[in-house]
Structure 1
């Protein structure tokens, strides 16, 4: 059979000289090769892109036109002599080529006679650590590069820590640029000893250290005579020999997150998804999580037709024997070993956004096909990647690795990350920008979440409302300090009380004297202030009351959080719209003057932002409308939306 080199030596081959059977045999053998996904990572300018370019070149996967362009680009960008700048094969962005750095994750495919490879070249700059995490999330192996001249650096430790954190157990320590230190064994041994001490401290049980030069090719695809003291394998043969346990997911209990309910007609109803773990056969008992309903598999449908069984990594549609309630976000699992369910979790979080974590603020949490609203508590600690010390912190900044509690607004289906990334790894998404801000690895559920259950109560919130003859409402007054929120809210309550309505007014200053006196006025403190007020307002609404709240509540995310606590239509956002200069003129407490003098930090409108409501139920213009007129209009609005007669 023709070899790969004969079939495609840098794109030069003679199709007419090949026998069709040779091509078919080669393609069949190529399709059956095992696949290794690996990343290259490390510090800036350690030679990651050059090494990958060398692997592509030496494995003869560069076509002739690519080679010609590579040579031209190398000359244009200043490569001297006959040398080729192999990094240009991977650095595809113009900014990367101009700066000589990697910014984005570059994925490349190549193959040898023994194996297929997908390699991710990840950036070394600290500001692009988020991209490294992306590349590591699907990798089987991490090639950690170290510049022999520089030794183990902070970013080397950070990338190693992250690779180990996301579950990569095959680590290759590639000590690069050995030609620039005279191929000195002592330099290599010192670096390996330094790294070994760090690796042991973070739990890396083993790694393979290889001295090499990506530029010259020494010990990349074959052993080099320039380092006779090294008796181990070259990099590529070692990568070919790594045992990738392709069936490791198949050894786990069956799990399939439901992506889509397939209902093309009234006679067919199936649940489509990618099998995350285990094996499933027709007739197997399954359980729908989190509902707990049980059934059996009646059919396994694929694009090619029905099959008797399927394993991890395959996309299938399962038809169940019973009509059970199951939708996107649910998980179909082995009945005898279902995954866990909880709404409070302990997780390790890698923060990837320029803006810091705001504890208590709502973020979207995406885990598999599940999407829930979640808040992150102040971290228990952050990890110093150099010393592994656990440092106290109140938030997470760019590239921080911390351990924190995560509270979801409803139970989610999960497994600890150590058992599998499919149901153990999640991302956090900023609700306002839809930007991914963090990656998380679930450690365990919080036991208090399993020990606390909702108590069934016979007197329902509907019964409380009927007794009072009114529909509960939360009238949420928001606006700048001095806008007149409390004044208008007080007038509204007086009118409602005179009409026989059951009300209660929660005022910002009053709450700060009692329930929330432990909170400061930082962004995190304000968010927690509103969360507590929202919970109290919800309980009062459950009791059938009309609750009025007068709080600056400057952030849209927290106002939306309270809205989501209540049934549709019960939250009424009232924007008391007052220009900043008018609010300052009304400032009888002198707070604005103190804020402008720097005596009050984080003051809304001066040193802290106010996010104006975009679609409030009511907008009050206090420049054109008196407090009395505004109160009358609010009451008239409520008269038009109340369900129960007044």
Structure 2
């Protein structure tokens, strides 16, 4: 074998380019800490590891007088020998038959997200099991994740057989135990291999110490198992569009990587979500035109017709096009310290499509140890839940089980641009296909014209006691005096009706603001100037409210008063209750308030009275040409 063990993942592409004559195999190694993941990868990285390393064994450490392969591979945390580092470590090596990219994942529950990352592009999974201990909690957890990720090939490597005297009875016992659990998950294509990564038994060559085992070695299995790329070529054609390549009018080209299937000149195609159709006239690459393109190839499709296609569209075969929808059932793995809260807006990246997304409902959270379904109002870090997801527009998709590229997505925090979740689409919700916008003849512009005003939302935000409701009430009176058509949505009043079912947890506050924002949008559509006076503590929800409206229709007004000032005012006695522990989740005390970073109007109410603050708002509206 030829070998490389450079950790830098960016080198993988260059490595692959030097071995294009052999099929690429991506696999993930997972299991509990101490099951032998690091030792196994070291065995695979070195053709003759003992000869290469024993001479310098002091450098790498020992296990009972033998070379510590885990340290050789560089996969143990400094100062914590035997514990795999808490990242996904990538290694690669090659044989005469195939090249391999290996993702080694940590075993602890808190690194579930790393397991998902490593498995997301893998063709197969190697699940390490210590023969002495059998099926552990982490074994079950990783098995559930493999089933969740749609892993088509699983090897259960029953390791450390040397420590159970290479017992066939013990091997059979572990196999039986694992099969019983895997049946619950629907994992079927499982290969069991007894081995010793430390001694080398059944890793690269068959072991003479287990004559009762007649199956393949681990490396032998990896060299012959079907690649996902081979499977994808038999699937319907999909190419997410990455960009438009149009140097002239005779070259309407659309670039992207073929996600699945095969395409040839003359094939009829359909573009989703628009539904436009055309015929492929050329398949262009920098190396020349192709007679066909298959999954994994980056190409430019030149079409016969002038049709509207942009980045994010999906080109499919006309007979088996992708589906389109804007609401889904999904399984979501949460990957951020701050929990997932239903109603909070995120960005969703699905292939080359990026849209606004909101989790509308968490149906249940999965206990990955027992597979029990648990009621949940939020998902914590590494939590896995089945959720309903709503998008701001329809996207092209396939179920994840049918196509990872067009069925797998990530969620991105809109404020920080961090990836916070990864998910798998199950199916479109029926209501996404049955509910359509109804055309009306009288629109927002006509309603606003009849009222002779520009509709807008004046969004007052700030701590309790800062003066939001008082100032909003004064502003409405002044606008009403000037003949404007207005409505005031006040936080306390709305909780007596529309939001009376909501409490004051973070999740409830998110939903509270979402409902008010949608109500305010309807009122703006009616041509009104709407005052909204809510604490609305989170920037992300205020941003959601802004994005529901057109440019210039949302005015964020920060009613700014320091905590000591509002506590001294305490008109409702709420701060005293919160300080005594009688009122939980109170903003400013035991729940955070995220102040606006660049409000449209900034009112420092510790330096002005309510009348002055209201006049400042009216002046700001005049400057914007909203009132005369």
The two structures have a TM-score, normalised by structure 2, of: 0.94
Secondary structure at the aligned position of 1:513 is classed as coil
Say whether residues 1:36 and 2:25 are aligned partners.
Answer: yes
**What is the distance in 2 between the residues matched to 1:86 and 1:281?**
48
Encode CA deviations 1:423-473: one digit per residue, 9 max, x unaligned: 101111222332222211111111011110000011011110111111101
Give the 3 Å change call, closer, same or farther, for CA 462–82 of structure 1 in structure 2: same
Q: Which residue of 2 aligns with 1:19?
A: none
Mean Cα deviation higher: 469-478 or 28-37 = 28-37
Which segment is superposed worse, 530-539 or 436-445? 436-445
Supply the distance in 1 between the matched residues of 2:405 and 2:319 (Cα, whole angstroms). 19
Go from structure 1 to structure 2 and tell me whether the alpha carbon gap of 1:487 and 1:185 turns closer, same or farther (over 3 Å shift). Answer: same
CA distance, structure 2, for counterparts of residue 63 and residue 569 of structure 1 = 70
Within the candidate set 215, 231, 240, 2:223 is matched to 240
- Judge which range, 333-342 or 445-454, deviates more: 333-342
CA, structure 1 residues 63+81, in 2 after alignment: closer, same or farther (shift >3 Å)? closer
- Point out the more displaced range, 484-493 or 391-400: 391-400
Of 38, 43, 46, the match for 2:35: 46
Give the C-alpha shift of residue 399 in structure 1. 2.6
Structure 2 residue aligned with 1:83: 66
Q: Which residue of 2 aligns with 1:22?
A: none
Cα RMSD (Å): 2.4
Looking at structure 1, the residues matched to 120 and 459 of structure 2 have their Cα atoms a distance apart, in angstroms, of 43
Whether the 8 Å CA contact 2:342–2:361 is kept in 1: the answer is yes
2:95 aligned with 1:106: no
Displacement after TM superposition at 1:100 (Å): 3.9
Match of 1:290 in 2: 273
Report how far residue 416 of structure 1 moved. Answer: 0.6
8 Å CA contact 1:102–1:124 kept in 2: the answer is no
Pair 1:152 & 2:135 matched:
yes
Q: How does 1:512-591 map to 2 (within 5 A)?
A: 512-591=495-574
Structure 2 residue 447 is the aligned partner of structure 1 residue 464:
yes
CA contact (8 A) 1:96 1:102 kept: no
Partners of 1:597 and 1:268 lie apart in 2 by 72
Which of 368, 383, 401 is the matching residue for 1:418?
401
2:320 corresponds to which of 337, 342, 349: 337
Measured in 2, the distance between the counterparts of 1:269 and 1:134 equals 36
Match of 2:191 in 1: 208
Write the distance in 2 (CA, Å) between the matches of 1:416 and 1:626: 58
Q: Are 1:271 and 2:260 an aligned pair? A: no
Q: Give the aligned partner of residue 173 of structure 2.
A: 190
Please state if 1:386 is matched with 2:386.
no
Counterparts of 1:137-148 in structure 2, within 5 Å, are 137-148=120-131
Matched residue count: 618
Q: Give a deviation string over 1:504-530, Cα, whole Å, max 9, x none.
A: 111110000011000011111111110
* Superposed displacement of residue 319, structure 1: 2.3
Q: Work out the CA distance in 1 between the residues paired with 2:567 and 2:164.
A: 67
| Bigger mean CA offset, 538-547 vs 369-378 | 369-378
State the Cα deviation string for residues 351-404 of structure 1 (Å, max 9, x = none). Answer: 222332112111221111111121113421122333322222222223322111
Unaligned runs of 5+ in 1: 12-26
> Which has the larger displacement, 166-175 or 235-244?
235-244
Question: 1:245: how far off?
Answer: 5.8
State how far apart, in whole Å, the 1-side matches of 2:95 and 2:381 are: 39
**Which of 155, 172, 182 is the matching residue for 2:155?**
172
CA distance in 1, matches of 2:498, 2:86: 48
Contact (CA 8 Å) 2:76, 2:82: kept in 1 or not?
Answer: no
Match in the other structure for 1:491: 474
